[in-house]
Amino acid sequence: GEQGAAAVQAMGETLSSETPFESKVGVESILEGIGVDQFDRLLEHLEVMERRGLRFGHVAIWRQAFLGGAADHHTLVYEYRAGGRHLCLKIDWGREGLAFRDDPEDPSADGDIIERKWCRHSPAALRQQLVAVKSKTYVLTSWNCQHFSKYMFDVASETSKELTELSQPPPRPQQGEEEEEGFPALAPVP
């Protein structure tokens, strides 16, 4: 009830103070969750991004310590350019579901990047990957913000790898081998 919420808020205020040894993350948001689930809103946002022809250039996992460094919260970040600006689509997974922000700010001034990769990822591809995990529920030990972020990071990398492999020219046959369709192989260039 109200007493429990007040106690959690008081603990959050204490733990998110500005002292050098304590995190600036609002612990109340982690202990109570991320707020109203924005999953469907994010799917709509990705549709708009796709219509605008935007593409993600990098995907990263940001880490921010909380509870005095006893635990880490992970945020998934997709970076892209639009209107000449560098923007970040930040996705958080918590007990109530998914939350996101899309703006030029990094996820956290006191956080750091644990993994970052180049990706050629469309908003439509990200949307499909999110739909594939929409039915999953938050489980602290097996599907929390860290599991979600790592899974989505890996899937983005696989999509980028497939696109890179598709863009590579096929290997040239060796001298004496025949190409497909019965055409002779090209002679090597001297």
Which residues are bridge partners to 115 per DSSP?
A: 61
Structure tokens at 110: 């006191």
Residue 14 — φ and ψ, nearest 5°?
A: -65, -45
Per-residue pLDDT at 171: 54
Is pLDDT above 60 for 190? no
Strands 56-66 and 71-82, sheet pairing: antiparallel
Distances (CA, A) of 24 to 14, 78, 152: 10, 23, 26
Per the model's pLDDT, the better-predicted residue between 144 and 6 turns out to be: 144
Q: Residue 65 is inside which H or E element, if any?
A: strand 56-66
Residue with tokens 């709509």: 44
Return all residues near 55 (Cβ < 8 A) that are at least 6 apart: 80, 120, 121, 122, 123
Helix, strand, coil percentages for the chain (3-state, nearest 5): 35, 30, 35
Q: What would the mean pLDDT of 166-189 be, rounded to a whole number? A: 49
Which residues are bridge partners to 143 per DSSP?
A: 139
Q: What would the mean pLDDT of 8-28 be, rounded to a whole number? A: 37
Could you report the per-residue pLDDT of 176-187, keeping only the tens digit for each? Answer: 555 444 444 444
Q: Residue 116 is inside which H or E element, if any?
A: strand 112-121
As a whole number of angstroms, the distance between CA 125 and CA 82 comes to 18
